[in-house]
Amino acid sequence: MSAGTGAAPAPPAETPAGAARPRRGLMPLLLTGNLVLFALYAGAASILLPTQVEHIDKAHKVALLGAVTGIGAAFATLLNPIGGALSDRSRSRFGRRNPFLLGGAVLALAFAVLLGNMTAIALLAVGWCLVQGMGNIYQAALTAIVPDRVPAERRGTASAMAGAGTTLGLLVGIVVAGRFTHAIAWGYTTLGLLLVGAAVLLVTLTHDPRPHELPARAAQQASSLRRDLASFLSALRVRDFMWVFAGRALMILSYFCVTGYLLYMLEDHIGLPHGMKGADGVALLTLIGAVTSVVTTVIGGPLSDRLDRRKAFVFVASAGMAAALLMPLLSPHWTTMVVFMAVDGLFFGVYMAVDTAMVTLVLPRGEDAARDMGVLNIANAGPQIVAPFVASAIISTPGGYPALYIVAAVLAVAAALSVLPVKSVR
């Protein structure tokens, strides 16, 4: 993988006129669109899938959950940039992003209904692949909205809305899924319906530029899918994009190594207050993290816009998340986990808002926004492939969960260091 030049990425192609003044209501819909997507992801991965796996084979639940979630993430990794590339080249009269937003959501719902009725590990893996894959088709179109329609000086605010939605989605998904531990199929169906509802709102209440409204360059290239596939990973040859990609991958790997096993961690290592169920413990901790995260998300994103600084925010947030992981390592108790989630949420909120804004500012080409955001999403989905296998392998060693915290902290430190070589963003 070539490091490319150290120069700033080429300026984005022209954007539709509406990008200079995003239509009223776009910001809250970015929050809602991300919220319901991550509610589906979190509710399934943290509550519904672990519950299904435990019902099928309790003795081997750690390894089996790792296999199911890892295979699903691998499938999603492929679908996100492919879906982004297809939406970049779309000439639909309904817009470039709308068909993929609505189509991805509807298919995710259909496969979620099937997933809720799976009773074998192999079928569970297939079902989760399909749900995650369609969710990533939706996600590719959703993430492209920011570089498509939001000017650079408001990217921090837009990314804060997306980040707040992501954090709240983790909470909503876990809370909703926790109410369906004895009716898993209905849990998946409910989360899928929420996703379809958000897609309908985005399609009907925001304006997706039609082919005749696109800049000349984008319109001319809309049918060049062959060229797009040939240069599929070309963005990684741009030095700044590569470093942002690496930092995101390291942070997501750190994050999912811990949160992906939170239910089992509480039940088998930390312990729960008397009378509290595992799912309720996960929901409470997620609520605490979500509250602190949303606060710093809505502050950090606009503040980074005002100061025109991104790197310092991302560095401090990543290092802070590494430090927070030392808490459960040194004191593996319920009270410590409450404090850990609160502190971790503070830094995670800043990270999600500002790093996402920085991503949109290092995109090599504006007309390839969805494809390159999809490639960047490999840094989100790819580590989720590795995280379950890494985490389950570490948990199975004599070091157990304490070793997992150490590895996750080291990864977060590496993520902090990865932002330093970025040159085109301050």
Mean pLDDT for the chain overall: 81
- Mean of pLDDT values over 289-310: 84
pTM exceeding 0.75: no
What is residue 231's predicted lDDT score, i.e. its pLDDT?
Answer: 61
**Residue partners of 298: CB distance under 8 A and separation at least 6:** 160, 164, 353
Torsional sign, CA 167, 194, 46, 415: negative
Q: How many percent of the chain have pLDDT more than 90?
A: 29
pLDDT digits (tens, 9 = 90+) for 320-360: 999 999 999 999 999 999 999 999 989 988 887 888 788 77
pLDDT digits (tens, 9 = 90+) for 68-120: 887 887 777 777 777 777 777 767 677 788 889 999 999 999 999 999 998 89
Using pLDDT thresholds of 50, 70 and 90, give the confidence band for residue 215: low
pLDDT digits (tens, 9 = 90+) for 23-37: 557 888 999 999 999
Of 21, 38, 27, the C-alpha closest to 380 is: 38
State the DSSP code for 236: G
Residue 402, by phi and psi: left (phi above 0), alpha (psi -120 to 50) or beta? alpha
Residues comprising the chain, all counted:
426
Q: How far apart are CA 135 and CA 141, in angstroms?
A: 10
Report whether pLDDT(198) > 90. yes
Q: How many percent of the chain have pLDDT more than 70?
A: 85
Query: Which stretches within 116-221 are classed as H helix?
Result: 121-149, 155-178, 184-205, 216-221
Report whether pLDDT(5) > 50. no
Of 77, 227, 184, 177, the C-alpha closest to 137 is: 77
- Mean of pLDDT values over 384-398: 83
What is residue 211's predicted lDDT score, i.e. its pLDDT?
Answer: 61
- Report the CATH number of the 23-418 domain: 1.20.1250.20
Could you count the other beta carbons within 10 Å of the beta carbon of residue 375? 23
Angle 398-400-403 from CA coordinates, rounded to 5°? 100
What is residue 233's predicted lDDT score, i.e. its pLDDT?
Answer: 66
Q: How far apart are CA 238 and CA 39, in angstroms?
A: 33
HSE (side-chain half, CA atoms, 13 Å) at 100? 32
Residue type, 338: V
Report whether pLDDT(217) > 60. no
What is residue 275's predicted lDDT score, i.e. its pLDDT?
Answer: 82
